[in-house]
Amino acid sequence: MTCDVARNRLLALPDPTRPTDDLLPHLAGCAACRAVQAEAVRLDALLKRLPVPSSEERKQAFMNRLDTEGPIIRTRPVVPSTLADSGAFKPVVKWLKRIDWRYVGGGVAAAVAIGLGIWFLVPRNGGVTKADPPPRSERLERMVKYTTDLAKARTPQERLGVYGNWSADLQGEAGDVFKVAERDEMISLARNFEEMVNDGVVPQARQIKPGDMPPDARSQALNDAMKKLGDAQTEASRLAAEAPPNARDALQRIAKTAQDGRRTLSDIAQGK
């Protein structure tokens, strides 16, 4: 112990005549610190001899003033008891203490590894992630694909499938934007949908003659197209019910077109 430390501790003692045990070895070997201790004892004795003025009268006057003015704190403060204090969490704490946190760490690591694996392996948004800088339109990409499919198609059955997909995409586009698009934009999509169904799907379905292909294959082709139109009708009707006024007409038009197209295809399938 250095002299500085010993002297600081001496000055902090309530009674310098009674140094603590850890100071005693230092004081025994250091005359300078013993002198400081002696000085502290002397100063303490001098302070005790100083006269202290009586405060009784002032104290009484102060208390009287407080009583006259009433209490400053009128309600007794209540320290809120917490849930933790109430013991409600005791079973949880007990259960947490029983958990082997090494296994929890292993579980988290496994979850992160599996999550990362799926993240990297599973294609998102058809392989084009939303974060890719160019906002490429997947719908336009599909329409270009449909165009080349049509350029290669040789049978009405093939063309019917492409037109059915194209119609579904147009309905999907309307569903994506109906809450924010202008009325003329929605009408444009509804018109495109009408063209695709009335000038594409229906004429191609009519060209699939019963004798041109096996009955099952013909039924399958027509049923697929009917299902797409049925789905489009259901979805457009549902959206129309919640659509803002500027989009409602267009969605109802799409639903009606799909309904009529589906009915016509049903008639064609039945040979009417």
Partner 1 sequence: MRTRPLLVIAAFAALSAWVSAQPGSGPTAAESLKMLRANRGLYEDLTKHALALGRSNTSLDRADECLKVTERLAREVREAVDRKDTDRLAELSDHLNTVATDGLAPNLSAARNDINPQSLDYTRLQDVHQHAFDNLSRTATAVPTDGELGTSKRAKDAREKLAAAAAHIGPPPPDKKVP
| Cα dihedral sign, 99-101-103-107 | positive
Q: Which of 12, 78, 180, 241 binds partner 1 (CB under 8 A)?
A: 180
| Helix orientation angle between 156-177 and 215-242, rounded to the nearest 10 degrees | 10
Q: Which of 7, 173, 225, 262 binds partner 1 (CB under 8 A)?
A: 173
Q: Looking at 34-42, 145-153, 218-226, 230-238, which segment touches partner 1 (CB under 8 A)?
A: 145-153
| Cα dihedral sign, 34-37-43-46 | negative
| Helix orientation angle between 215-242 and 245-269, rounded to the nearest 10 degrees | 160
Q: Looking at 26-34, 78-86, 140-148, 241-249, which segment touches partner 1 (CB under 8 A)?
A: 140-148
Q: Give the per-residue contact string, 49-88, with partner 1 (x = CB under 8 A; - = no).
A: ----------------------------------------
CB of 146 to partner 1, least distance (A): 6
CB of 224 to partner 1, least distance (A): 17
Length of the chain: 272
Q: Taking CB under 8 A as the rule, does residue 144 contact partner 1?
A: yes
As given in the structure block, the two tokens for residue 194 are 């009408």
Q: Give the per-residue contact string, 84-123, with partner 1 (x = CB under 8 A; - = no).
A: ---------------xx--xx-xxx-xxx-xx--xx--x-
- In Å, how far from its chain's centre is CA 104? 23
Q: Are 251 and 178 in contact (CB under 8 A)?
A: yes
CB of 137 to partner 1, least distance (A): 4
Q: Are 255 and 233 in contact (CB under 8 A)?
A: yes
The Cα 90–Cα 219 span in angstroms is 67
Q: Give the per-residue contact string, 188-217, with partner 1 (x = CB under 8 A; - = no).
A: xx--x--xx--xx--xx-------------
Element holding 166 (H helix, E strand): helix 156-177
As given in the structure block, the two tokens for residue 6 are 């010993």
Applying CB under 8 A, the residues found at the interface with partner 1 are: 99-100, 103-104, 106-108, 110-112, 114-115, 118-119, 122, 124-125, 129-130, 133-137, 139-141, 143-148, 150-153, 159, 162-163, 166, 170, 173, 176-177, 179-181, 185, 188-189, 192, 195-196, 199-200, 203-204
